[in-house]
Amino acid sequence: MINNAMTLEEAIQQRRSVRGYKPDPIDQETLDSIFTSAQLSPSNCNVQPWQVLLATGEACQILKDKMHHAFMHGQNMNPDFSGLPKFEGNMRTRQVECAQALYGAMGIARDDKIARMKATARNYQFFDAPHVAFITMKKDFSPAIAVDVGMYAQTLMLLMTSHGIGSCAQASTAYYPDIVREFFELDNDMGILFGISFGYEDKTVDANQTRTTRAPLSQIIHHKK
Ligand SMILES: Cc1cc2nc3c(=O)[nH]c(=O)nc-3n(C[C@H](O)[C@H](O)[C@H](O)COP(=O)(O)O)c2cc1C
């Protein structure tokens, strides 16, 4: 049943990254409603530069198996777009706190490299989600167009929240783009920015106890009057 009686504010407050899912797929009517509304996202000149590769059921399982195999066998990562920079200052602090929140929830000690590796490997099983959506745009598009795609992705995830569906954006799933490209027969000029795993949250999974914080506005807003 579609339940989108939530206010936007409530959806923003409730959305968080979900890293453990029930196997139940989302019905087609709900998927159609969510992806139709997400199309209302704004973009430069309304070009709607995003292309979404959506895998469900067996397709999702095949991609999971291939990606997990690639990760566990140390296959070379070759993302289409450059990855994360070396963060410094406040951003480095937030990055460390984010990892501590996740590993803390999972009961993983800071120096337990094997447990951390296993936790990272969960990314490549899409945290058992029944669906994954790879968000793509043309490889030669600049950050000016990537912002359109980011807006689309957040709209999509908030819509999912409003329908009681959990999600996790995953840059990690863009590190083996050839697997996705081959599976979806994606043109070579298209690049994979990130995947979004989604489905109904399994609240018994430890990782889902993770709670992140946000910087105070004094670190973010530079307001002159
Ligand atoms: C573009 C993007 C990529 C991300 N990649 C990953 C990822 O690969 N693995 C992961 O577990 N979380 C990933 N995250 C989730 C962030 O860690 C998470 O959004 C952040 O810690 C804030 O927590 P919250 O989403 O629960 O509010 C990603 C988030 C974004 C927006």
Residue 200 lies in a domain: yes
- Residue with token string 């990130």: 194
For residue 35, the domain's CATH number is: 3.40.109.10
pLDDT band per the 50, 70, 90 thresholds, residue 4: low
Residue 108 lies in a domain: yes
Report the alpha-carbon angle 24-149-26, nearest 5.
Answer: 10
pLDDT at 5: 77
Residue 67 lies in a domain: yes
Residue 219 lies in a domain: no
Residue 217 lies in a domain: no
Mutate to test the pocket of ligand 1, among 17, 71, 117, 135 (most ligand atoms within 8 A of CB): 17
pLDDT at 14: 98
Residue 107 lies in a domain: yes
Q: Is pLDDT at 32 greater than 90 in this prediction?
A: yes
pTM: 0.97
pLDDT at 11: 97
Question: Whose CA is closest to atom 7 on ligand 1?
Answer: 170
Question: Whose CA is closest to atom 21 on ligand 1?
Answer: 98
pLDDT at 1: 42
> CA-to-CA distance for 187 and 194, rounded, in angstroms?
16
Residue 50 lies in a domain: yes
What is the rounded average pLDDT of the residues 72-96?
A: 97
pLDDT band per the 50, 70, 90 thresholds, residue 109: very high
Distance 43 CA to ligand 1 centre (A): 22
pLDDT at 201: 98
Distance 224 CA to ligand 1 centre (A): 31
In Å, what is the CA distance from 78 to each residue of 94, 143, 182, 186?
A: 26, 19, 14, 16
pLDDT band per the 50, 70, 90 thresholds, residue 3: low
- pLDDT, tens only, 120-151: 999 999 999 999 999 999 999 999 999 999 99
Which domain covers residue 92, as residue numbers?
8-210
- Residue with token string 């070396």: 86
- pLDDT, tens only, 179-197: 999 999 999 999 999 999 9
Distance 20 CA to ligand 1 centre (A): 14
Q: What percent of the chain is helix, strand and coil (3-state, nearest 5)?
A: 50, 15, 35
pLDDT at 2: 47
Distance 12 CA to ligand 1 centre (A): 15
- pLDDT, tens only, 50-82: 999 999 999 999 999 999 999 999 999 999 999
Residue 193 lies in a domain: yes
Tell me which residues have their CB closer than 6 angstroms to ligand 1.
Answer: 16-17, 19, 98, 123, 168-172, 194, 212
Number of folded domains in the chain? 1
pLDDT at 70: 98
Distance 25 CA to ligand 1 centre (A): 22
